[in-house]
Amino acid sequence: MKTPASSTLQDETYTTLRQWLSLGRWLPGERLKIKQLAQDMQVGEMPVRTALQRLVAEKALANIPNCGVTVPQLSRTQFDDILQTRMLLEGEAAEKGARNLSSADFKLLEELTATMGEAIRNHDVKGYLTANEDFHITLYRASGSAMLLSLIESVWLHVGPISNQLHQDPHVWSIMNDCHEDMMRALQRKDPSAVRRAIERDLFNAGQYLKTLCN
């Protein structure tokens, strides 16, 4: 029987691995080694093993015979399905969020947009992806829909590993922040529909390049 302490540790380990996966810490096809992950997180191997099993059950990771737990490689058909789902969910969350955004959240979005711009200039992929996630979560959380946010975060698990390859195309990388700047202008003039269109354009533009990296 799980003790409260062990249950909490397993949940924390799962949450951390889930976030790392969403942020693209690993590449598609990469094998995840339990011993190394346990060392990185300074926890025992059991909570890591349990967390990986949960992510396999969610199909965010794959358990390959004679290979172990790996990051899935998406086909173009799978990626198209995920992209369309993201545009539907995130477009809705962005429009709702724009209607309810507080002045404090607006200021935070401005700061995150500036941080992303700086990360692009410094070719800081990890910094960009972290600020980008914070930007989108801040906007979507303002929608007031916990269910919508949960669905979005679940979908992100499937695209995080491939998203950190956006910088490989200099043109795509150079325009990554354009849609965020468009969103800020739309928020400034209180135009939720324009915010939705900017989010959808952001996802679509990045998706066209990422799809070329799929099988």
96 shares its domain with 15:
no
CATH of the domain at 45: 1.10.10.10
pTM of the model: 0.85
Could you tell me if 126 and 199 lie in one domain? yes
Distance CA 159, CA 166 (A): 11
Q: Return d(Cα 151, Cα 187) in angstroms, integer.
A: 24
Q: Cβ(50)–Cβ(79) under 8 Å? A: no
> Which burial class, exposed, middle or buried, applies to 65 when counting CB atoms under 10 A from its CB (0-12, 13-18, 19+)?
exposed
pLDDT tens-place values along the chain, 215 residues long: 344 455 688 899 999 999 899 888 898 999 999 999 999 999 999 999 999 999 999 999 999 888 889 999 999 999 999 999 999 999 999 999 999 999 999 999 999 999 999 998 888 888 888 898 899 999 999 999 999 999 999 999 898 888 877 777 777 777 888 999 999 999 999 999 999 999 999 999 888 888 988 88
Question: What contacts 110, CB < 8 A, 6 or more positions away?
Answer: 184
Shared-domain flag, residues 85 and 26: no
